[in-house]
Amino acid sequence: MSTAEAVKIDAKLVKELREKSGAPMGDCLKALQEAKGDMENAFVVLRKRGMASAAKKASRTTNEGAVGTYIHAGGKIGVLLELNCESDFVARTEDFQELLKDVAMHIAAVDPRYVGKDEVTPADIEKEKDIYRAQAAASGKPANIIEKMLEGKMSKFYEEVCLLEQPFIKESSLTIGQLIAQKIAKLGENISVRRFARFKIGEPNYTVASAKAAAIEEPAA
């Protein structure tokens, strides 16, 4: 168990940091664990990762952006990715284009099935939970302990299948969500993954995923 995992954090501290920073609860908890419960240091951690300012911009509409591609392994794997932002100016910046390429490359290497947690189907969630419950029950653990274990198991599941929850292949200390948040903080605009598709030569199935919350609004007449 890592030092961060060993640190017990009071839920009130997590809520306080959430209110102060506007960052998601899970990121606040991780920051407090990393800072060993120190509120100010935890806020610095969030700022360095761009989460505080990024969360405050998350509700902004992202109707601009760019479509990028990444071809890997001598043309054997290909990714098509739509990354959105608020303005065409930002979409043409070197930072945005670099992010577009990095995320597409990550998708090619890791093959996520969903953009984020919100897109995971209830059927897939229940299927995973049933598997974990059966595994735990076979070991003789009581029902109340099994349910507590499910939270950790599902977090690992989301990390495996959701793009935004996955550790970035070029810098594993950051998730893709945190990588995007850093760019949001730097560029001053909301940025979101709209959709992606991944194809691999010789495989009959391919991945196509889109974000529910990133639907593009039609311009007013």
Residue 114: DSSP 8-state: B
76 and 181 inside one domain: yes
31 and 114 within one domain: no
Instruction: Judge whether residue 216 has pLDDT over 70.
Output: no
Residues 109, 142 within the same domain? no
Is pLDDT at 6 greater than 60 in this prediction?
A: no
Mean pLDDT of 58-68: 84
Q: What is the pLDDT of residues 70-129, one digit of tens each?
A: 999 789 999 999 999 999 999 999 999 999 999 999 999 999 999 999 999 999 999 998
Neighbours of 169 (CB within 10 A): 14
In a domain, 195, yes or no: yes
Give the C-alpha separation, 159 to 205, whole Å: 21
Report yes or no on 40 lying in a domain: yes
Phi and psi based region of residue 75 (left: phi greater than 0; alpha: psi -120 to 50; beta: remaining): left
Long-range CB pairs of 158-162 (<8 Å, 24+ gap) are 158/117, 158/120, 161/112, 161/113, 161/114, 161/120, 161/124, 162/112, 162/113, 162/114, 162/115, 162/116, 162/117, 162/119, 162/120
- Do residue 83 and residue 8 come from a single domain? no
Residue 126 domain-assigned (yes or no): yes
Same domain, 20 and 127: no
Backbone φ and ψ for 211, nearest 5 degrees, come out as -90, 130
Is position 88 within any domain?
A: yes
Report CA 202 to chain centroid distance, whole Å: 29
Q: Are residues 186 and 168 in the same domain?
A: yes
Residues 14 and 111 in one domain: no
209 within domain boundaries: yes
Q: Are residues 42 and 10 in the same domain?
A: yes
Reported pTM: 0.71
Question: Residue 215 pLDDT more than 90?
Answer: no
The CATH number for 169's domain is 3.30.479.20
| Predicted confidence (pLDDT) per residue in 158-172, tens digit | 999 999 999 999 998
Whether residue 197 lies inside any domain: the answer is: yes
- First CA to last CA distance, the chain: 57
Distance CA 112, CA 115 (A): 8
Q: What CATH number is associated with residue 41? A: 1.10.8.10
Residues 13 and 38 in one domain: yes
Rounded distance between C-alpha atoms, residue 175 and residue 160, angstroms: 11
pLDDT tens sequence across 175-198 = 999 899 888 888 889 999 999 999
The DSSP bridge partners found for residue 196 are 81, 209
Band (pLDDT 50/70/90 cuts) for residue 22 is: low
- Total number of domains constituting the chain: 3
pLDDT tier, 65 (very low <50, low <70, confident <90, very high otherwise) = very high
Q: Which of 7-11, 18-22, 59-63, 160-164 has the highest mean pLDDT?
A: 160-164
The range of the structural domain enclosing residue 37 comes to: 3-48
Q: Which of 48, 20, 53 is nearest to 34 (CA)?
A: 48
Residue 102 shares a structural domain with residue 166: yes
59 domain residue, yes or no: no
pLDDT of residue 144: 76
